[in-house]
């Protein structure tokens, strides 16, 4: 019912034929020898091939298999015969498109920023000691290829991340040659809806202060028209500005950070500020709009800063690798350096600076609460992973070994996690103040089980409860999970509590 904590094992894939009973569903794939592996199946756009992707945890690598379907393009009722295209966990491969037996794959094989290759599916075997296929769209030197789609049966529509912002480029499918860029009137995150047989593409662009605009673009005449601009009642985007800065981390690495505020902000070291980051699992944080965040920047005259620290996917595999496993401490250094930048440049001071993060980002802010308490006034710690010795024992936690290592089997991982595990590093520090903290979790969170938060709250209370001058709070939602899918009323209640806590800590009037 969502309150289980036992490890999730033994995934299977079944095929359901419409009109039949679920008990008749056909087993397509399982691997009883590897209970922690996860699988996904997709069909080629022409219905000729079935692809099986096998993944080990959250590692951005996968094995890839294919099966040729019959003339009627149906799933065979007998056992499916899978042919291995890639049978080792080394790179990531995702099928995009095929023309007959020639399949185009998006991959990071020898390409940290991703590229497109083409492979002949009819060959009897696939090489392991040399590149899988032929480069079709080469890796970009600086920008990460994040998505590929097909339009008008002739063009690859590609999305590249350029300094944490999306850029759409068009390539010819047959030759792989660059055709043109698609320009937009604003910067931000770009999603699309397009069909392989249509020449029109619908784009949606959102930004930190742009609730979303929908555009219609024709691939032939290259004309763009605005279909819809979302309007949020009471919000005037013209009153706000977004800056992107690049600041040095502890080791000198330049870290990008977005800073959103009103245009008339005074650089007086007295602006209430929230610093947010995620920094894990190759997940990039690109611009998005939140009506709740306009309360902070608008009604409370606050500054919102989003740091694109290492561990995310903003600059490809190298950026991700720089913030995981034995490099995890870089995440905390990057984040704390972002706080120092905001203070040094007079956006705010430690008395007006809060930090916020959720899930892996909750680990981040909890660790920074322990490591640099003097930097911060308040901490919002959402559904955090806290016990870095035992995280793998509960629900899907074993999948996170990709980023946190295997502290049970590898002594070096245990010793490294020992340095930052939030649960095991809550200590009294006589010369440093303790910021106020609100830990937020939910009783039905089956992603990051709530006892991470409960144990952390107990330890913080035990160590700091008698001496802290600031509130140390635990907030538990009932009949809710990891964050997604909450009813609007519950979301509003959480936002009210969150901003009420920040106002209390910073002396703001609501």
Q: pLDDT of 188-209, one tens digit each?
A: 999 999 999 999 999 999 999 9
Q: How confident is the model at residue 128 (pLDDT cuts 50, 70, 90)?
A: confident
- Helix, strand, coil abundance in the chain, percent, nearest 5: 20, 35, 45
Contact 187, 163 (CB under 8 A): no
pLDDT digits (tens, 9 = 90+) for 346-373: 999 999 999 999 999 999 999 999 999 9
Average pLDDT of span 418-435: 88
Q: How confident is the model at residue 432 (pLDDT cuts 50, 70, 90)?
A: low
Residue 338 pLDDT greater than 70, yes or no: yes
What is the structure's pLDDT at 73? 85
Average pLDDT of span 124-145: 94
For the annotated catalytic residues, the residue numbers are: 359, 445, 482
Average pLDDT of span 251-272: 97
Q: How confident is the model at residue 270 (pLDDT cuts 50, 70, 90)?
A: very high
Residue 2 pLDDT greater than 70, yes or no: no
Q: How confident is the model at residue 7 (pLDDT cuts 50, 70, 90)?
A: confident
Beta pairing, strands 210-218 & 102-107: unpaired
Contact 113, 140 (CB under 8 A): yes
What is the structure's pLDDT at 185? 93
Average pLDDT of span 417-441: 91
Average pLDDT of span 425-443: 89
Q: How far apart are the C-alpha atoms of 468 and 486, rounded to whole Å?
A: 33
- DSSP lists the bridge partners of residue 276 as 306, 356
Residue 429 pLDDT greater than 90, yes or no: no
| Mean pLDDT of all residues belonging to the chain | 95
Q: How far apart are the C-alpha atoms of 59 and 315, rounded to whole Å?
A: 17
- Please tell me the total number of residues recorded for the chain in this structure: 510
From 2-11, 208-217, 333-342, the region with the lowest mean pLDDT: 2-11
């Amino acid at each position: 019912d969502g309150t289980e904590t036992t490890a999730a094992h033994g995934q299977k894939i079944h095929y359901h034929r419409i009109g039949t009973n679920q008990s008749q569903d056909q087993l397509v794939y399982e691997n009883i020898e590897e209970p922690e592996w996860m699988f996904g199946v997709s069909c080629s756009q022409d219905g000729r091939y079935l692809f099986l992707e096998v993944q080990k945890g959250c590692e951005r690598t996968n094995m890839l298999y294919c099966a040729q379907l019959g003339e009627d393009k149906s799933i065979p009722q007998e056992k499916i015969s899978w042919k291995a295209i890639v049978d080792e966990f080394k790179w990531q491969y995702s099928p995009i498109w095929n023309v007959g037996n020639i399949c185009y794959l998006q991959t990071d094989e020898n390409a940290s920023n991703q590229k497109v290759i083409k492979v002949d599916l009819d060959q009897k075997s696939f090489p392991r000691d040399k590149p899988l296929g032929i480069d079709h769209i080469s890796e970009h030197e600086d920008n990460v290829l994040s998505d590929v789609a097909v339009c008008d049966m002739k063009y690859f529509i590609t999305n590249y991340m350029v300094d944490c912002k999306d850029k759409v480029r068009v390539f010819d499918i047959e030759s792989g040659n660059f055709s043109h860029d698609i320009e937009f009137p604003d910067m931000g995150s770009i999603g699309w809806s397009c069909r392989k047989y249509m020449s029109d593409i619908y784009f949606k662009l959102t930004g930190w202060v742009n609730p979303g605009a929908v555009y219609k673009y024709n691939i032939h005449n290259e004309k763009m028209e605005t279909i819809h601009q979302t309007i949020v009642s009471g919000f005037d985007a013209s009153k706000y500005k977004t800056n992107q800065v690049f600041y040095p981390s502890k080791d000198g690495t330049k870290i990008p950070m977005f800073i959103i505020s009103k245009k008339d902000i005074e650089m007086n070291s007295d602006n209430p500020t929230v610093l947010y980051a995620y920094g894990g699992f190759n997940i990039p944080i690109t611009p998005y709009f939140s009506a709740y965040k306009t309360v902070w920047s608008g009604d409370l005259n606050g500054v919102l800063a989003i740091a694109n620290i290492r561990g995310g996917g903003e600059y490809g595999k190298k950026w991700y690798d720089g913030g995981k496993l034995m490099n995890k401490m870089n995440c905390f250094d990057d984040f704390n350096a972002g706080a120092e930048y905001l203070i040094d440049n007079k956006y705010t001071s430690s008395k007006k600076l809060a930090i916020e993060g959720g899930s892996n980002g909750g680990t981040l802010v909890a660790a920074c609460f322990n490591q640099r308490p003097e930097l911060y006034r308040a901490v919002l710690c959402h559904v955090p992973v806290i016990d870095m010795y035992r995280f793998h024992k509960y629900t899907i936690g074993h999948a996170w070994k990709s980023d946190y290592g295997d502290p049970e089997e590898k002594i070096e991982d245990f010793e490294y996690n020992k340095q930052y595990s939030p649960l095991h590093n809550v200590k009294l520090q006589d010369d440093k103040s303790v910021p106020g903290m609100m830990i937020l979790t939910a009783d039905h969170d089956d992603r990051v089980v709530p006892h991470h938060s409960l144990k952390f709250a107990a330890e913080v209370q035990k160590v700091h409860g008698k001496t802290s001058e600031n509130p140390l709070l635990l907030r538990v939602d009932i009949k809710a999970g990891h964050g997604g899918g909450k009813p609007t009323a519950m979301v509003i209640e959480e936002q009210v509590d969150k901003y009420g806590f920040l106002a209390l800590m910073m002396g703001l009037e609501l």
